[in-house]
Structure 1
Amino acid sequence: MIYTVTFNPSIDYIVTVEDFKEGFVNRTSEELMFPGGKGINVSMVLSNLGFENTALGFLAGFTGDSVQGMLTANGVNADFIKVNEGITRINVKIRAQKESEINGMGPGIKQDDIDALYEKLDKIQDGDILVLAGSIPSVMPETMYSDIMEHLQGKDIKIVVDATKDLLVNVLKYKPFLIKPNNHELGEIYGVTLNTRDEVVPYAKKMQEAGARNVLISMAGEGAVLVSEDGQVYKSECPKGKVKNSVGAGDSMVAGFIAGYLESGEYKEALRKGLLTGSASAFSDNLATKQEVEELGKTFQL
């Protein structure tokens, strides 16, 4: 089984305003609504690709009920902790001359809620995959990712981490199966600017030397780099297409990588499936579907 954890899910309310004017009443020309959060995006795409998975995390209030319903309708097993205080946040994304975002706060997560999450994590079996993705709410310990990985030490679980800065660096000693920073996040960790695929390789290897088994660096239009645990370095451009929406593309890459690895057992194919899936999401208003990924794959090889 594949599990994902999203500590601070959301309803993403995406509105298009043709001529946005600050300080005036503006009307939308298009509206979209999705369940949001990096782990949730991974779960949604895995489900689209035909992989059963369970989404874990925290939900609250009527908005949490809405997220639960949307996930269930998409075939995701949504096994969230119901939090009593507050509501699941609503994130408003405005598409206009410039893109703007207003992100909500999220619910008040207590220690009892965290303890309940650990009870669910204890049910994960050897051979399962666990995806930890996204930021940690300010009401939770900053060490949550490393705490979870330490708690699960001793189990044969493939853990995937998609996080930034210290959240990512602090889990390396627990030897995650895969980490996926983008080139800007990787550069921020080491205090450098990384623009090309060749430039990211030595720093990806540093992450590997610090403990990560596989390091996948997403680079938007530049493609991606994979430094795999078998000593190989794979560098690839991304499929060609028109970008419509970059939200969720990195999460889709993670889902595609997992799917490709489970299907083939090969890291090169996992990278290819990751690139296809991330690109398919970027080329669509929604998250990638299996049909979109397969269609894109007809003309793309590493």
Structure 2
Amino acid sequence: MSQRHPRITVTAEVIIEVTDAGALEQAVLDDVDATPFDAQPGHSEADARAEARQDVQGDPVGAVAWIANAEDMIPDFPGITVVGSTQRVADTEGDNEPDERPDFAKLFPLCNCGSGDCAACSEFQLTPRTAAVLWAVAQILADQAYDDVIEHGDDLVNDEGAWVLFGEYPHITWQQDAVWRRQAARAFDDLTADLDAGRWPRPTCPGEEMAFHLLLRNARDAQEDGWGMRPDELAVLPEHADDYDWDTAYEVLLQDDDILQLFDAQVDGIEDPDSDQNRFMRMGDYRPAAWFRPFSNATPRDGRRPFRR
């Protein structure tokens, strides 16, 4: 087994006030003109530069997005390597803009009656605070997956440290192409959509099952370390004894942990439904080509749903 190095997520928020939009735009356009571009097949360098200029002209958000680089906040120190980053540049102006964040208290109402014969109180409740953390972290992981697709495309995962997310997937997936990886990224968005609709995020296929394992693991870290959803944002949501009960969420929301067998080199080939070990465990088909086929007991997702990125 290769040595696993600790990974640390740094979350920061920078608010910029544009004091001279014209000066900003001209400075950024000058920088665009001075930047060499790697043209995609069928496009020239001039085409790529013109597209970048279009994103900047008349749009302060686009101008700031051009100069913003999350990786610049980490100095070059020995013993660390920046393996990836994700960032979002958006206009925070206007208190009249509708809040895009779901009303978790309304979507996941709590029962606190305490009655001994109340089914809701006697069983696990997916609380607003737990749902909020899952919702926020699922979007972060989706962005990391899409970033990997954009950065690496069909490349083989042969260096875990060069990938933001897909280096965390089982080795049997490391040869998959960009289309497969984009479906894996959408699995996180599908779980987010469940939460947006007030549904418990139950995986419907192996791809979502893998996504949910990573989601729960990262949600625990996010809640403990205060990233993804800020503590002050969580504090305004109703409190409940089931808040952040990740172990019970694992047991309730997942059918099983069969997919974790794919990380065990001693059971190589167990993903094949015709293997003896697979049949003994009644796992089913966990070969990468089958990862986005719905489980027999799950309602399939709408095949017409788009990719976010």
Fold shared, TM-score > 0.5 on shorter chain: no
Whichever structure has more helix as a proportion of its residues is 2
Which structure has the greater CA radius of gyration? 2
- Please give the TM-score of this superposition, normalised by the length of structure 2: 0.26
Whichever structure has more strand as a proportion of its residues is 1
- Please give the TM-score of this superposition, normalised by the length of structure 1: 0.27
